[in-house]
Every structure is written in structure tokens, then in C-alpha cells.
Amino acid sequence: MPFALRPYGALALAALTLFFGCAQAQDETVIEADDVRLRVTTITDGLVHPWGLAFLPDGDMLVTERAGTLRRVSPSGEKGSAIEGLPEIISRGQGGLLDVTLDPDFHENRWVYFSYSEPGTGGTSTAVARGQLKGDQLEQVQVIFSQQPKVRSDGHFGSRLVFADDGTLFITMGDRQQSYEAADSQDLGSHIGTVVRIHSDGRVPDSNPFIDVEGARPEIWSYGHRNIQGAALHPVTRELWTGEHGPQGGDEINRTLAGKNYGWPIITYGVHYGGATILEGKTHSDGMEQPVFYWVPSIANAGMTFYTGDKFPQWRNNLLVTGLRSNLLSRLVLEGNEIVAEERLLADELGLRLRHVVQGPDDLLYLLTDERNGKILRLEPAH
């Protein structure tokens, strides 16, 4: 059964700022967590609402800025010029250039995948394109998925990109802020409020759960979602797990399995905006999945990753989730497929909207802050 947990251990984390001159004092913070001392270092700033981050084989980072810029950032924090070749992107509200990831065979094919808000007839929708990275240019750019239908809304685009072990690509999406009564998240004829699964070139896998269902969009993997902005593969089961925004409360972590209905807008642990509605207070319904974990009140969960490295051995296979309005990094401790404890980090010490968390090739953790002067932060053990 899903449940909400109170954070355990030292909730009031003691932060010690290192005073090696004024500039360094702003760039480096040491934090006492439950079982490890943490150092948070600013790698770079000056990014405009960074959203997605992917590490290149040479150690450079590809970072998306929601305004529509993709740029390379060196390990030392030097920002490159904007990478050319992106399609038309509408940057408005929650829309813009969103996630970025590399092809599993990037060493050979140089494909980079990115999600964004795409204009078209009827409004905008979440779309995914890929291009081959050559220097500071994307070449052979192809749109491999375009959410249908397009709607006139500037919110709830999703969207994270995750490659499964078989090379298929998961794309998470939102309900596009449609009214509760009119939301398409329960309609298999719409991509709205779904996770889709495609091949890397946009083809539909024959094993998708609704491929033979009349009237259903064949790309759909799961449905009944509100706004999924976090996704990662479980390090042991290799199943897709996702993080989903609730309305006022009811943010969720879900095991996101083939063909399952996750209930939105029929069931939720949140409270709908604007007061009571016809759906108020309903948390269970036959044929609809329960979350593994949920937050009440909301933390506005965003990016997430399972930690699998050696630099934080105490955290191995823990799920790390960033929060926007809460400014926190949530560390969720798992036993099998159950979340048994939570530790909340960084909110008091940094006070920054945290958009995403990524494990680097050095096994350290890298955070994006969702600010006009957005930063890349590195989280490492402090000895």
C-alpha cells in the first residue's frame, strides 16, 4: 500500500559555509546529512531556467535552457555557444526546450534526443526530435514523436526521456492543464496524460500494450497521468519509475508498467485547485493503480534518478527526487519496490528551486536549479 512518510533523522540539517574569501563562500556549502557530510559546489551559473542535462563521453555536459537553447558546458563550468540546428520551439509558460538524452550507441551514431513544446494546428504539444551532434551543430534533425492532439495551453508538457535496456525510448507527458472534467488522460485515443514508448527512430514497438486496441494510439505505454517530470529505470528490476505532479498535494512516485491506468483525474491524493469538484476526495477506483509513494502537502517533485555509484555507498539504489516549490532534494530509501524512509536535504541551506538531479560519470551528483540565473551544482562527500 502506498503511504506518505515523515522524514527521519536530522531534519534540521546544519549547514557550514566555507569562508575562503567572499566568492568561494557563495560557491561552496557543507551540509551535515544523516549519514554523510555533503559538499555542494557551483559548477556554473548564468543558465536561463535549465531543464535537462546529459553527459557526453568527453565529460562535457549538454544542458537545455527552457527558453530554447541547447549548450555545452565543460567540467570546469565554461559555457559554450548555443548549439545550432534545433527546430522551432515555443517557449511560453511551462513550455520550451525540455529534456535531453544521448542514444545508447552515441559513440557510434552521435544521436542526441530532446523534448520540447512544438507549435502547430490547434496550439502546441510535446514533441521529441533527434539530431547528430557534430561540433556545435545538430545535423540530420528528425522529429520522431509529436503528441496528439495539440491544444491551446502553456502548461503540463511533461517530459522526461528514458531509454530502456532494449533500446526503446520512453517519453513522459502531461495532461496539458485541461479541465478535470474534460481531461483526455483517460482517453486512449489521445497522447495527453500518457507515457509513450517508441523505437529510437520513431517506429512503434510491436509489443506495446495497446497496439491492437481499436481507436487507441499505438505509442501509449501507460495512461491516466497528470504531469510527469521525473523518470528513471529501477536499478534492479529495470522497470520504469516516474514522478508525477499532483494538484494541491498528491505528488506521486509510480512504478509505470505496460497498459496500466494511473487514475488521473478520477483519483488523486491531492486537493483540486479552486475547491471541491465532482472528483473531490476519491483516492481509489477499480482498475486504477496506486502510487508507490506520495507527498501531502506537495513538494512539486521534478527530476529524479536512482543512485548506483560508489561515492555515496550509503545511498546505493536510493531514489533521489528534486523539488521545485519545496527547494529540496528528497532521498527515498527502498526495500524491494517499497519506499520505507525519506530524508529531506538542501532546502534550508540552498533555498533554490531544484529542477533535476543526474548521476555523473564520476559517480557524483549534479543538480540543475530552475532559476533565471540557473546553476549546475555538484554534490559530493565532504571529508
Active site residues: 156
Strand, coil or helix: what is 347? helix
Tell me if 116 sits within 8 A of 166, measured CB to CB: no
Cα separation of 139 and 133, whole Å? 7
Q: Which strands make up the sheet holding 111-120, listed edge to edge?
A: 97-102, 111-120, 123-134, 137-146
Q: In sequence order, which residues have a C-beta less than 8 Å from that of residue 2 and are 6 or more positions away? A: 290, 291, 292, 293, 294
Question: How are beta strands 161-163 and 169-172 bridged, if at all?
Answer: antiparallel
Side chain identity at residue 209, one-letter code: P
Q: Which of 246, 260, 236 is nearest to 319 (CA)?
A: 236
Question: How are beta strands 293-295 and 319-323 bridged, if at all?
Answer: unpaired
Cα separation of 191 and 175, whole Å? 9
Cα separation of 30 and 125, whole Å? 41
**Cell 521529441 maps to which residue?**
128
Angle at 135 between CA 198 and CA 99, to 5 degrees: 35
Cα separation of 199 and 9, whole Å? 44
Cα separation of 215 and 198, whole Å? 18
Find residue 196's DSSP bridge partners. 171, 220
Q: Which of 42, 140, 8 is nearest to 368 (CA)?
A: 42
β strands within 147-255, DSSP E = 161-163, 169-172, 194-198, 220-223, 228-233, 240-244, 251-255
Cα separation of 278 and 180, whole Å? 9
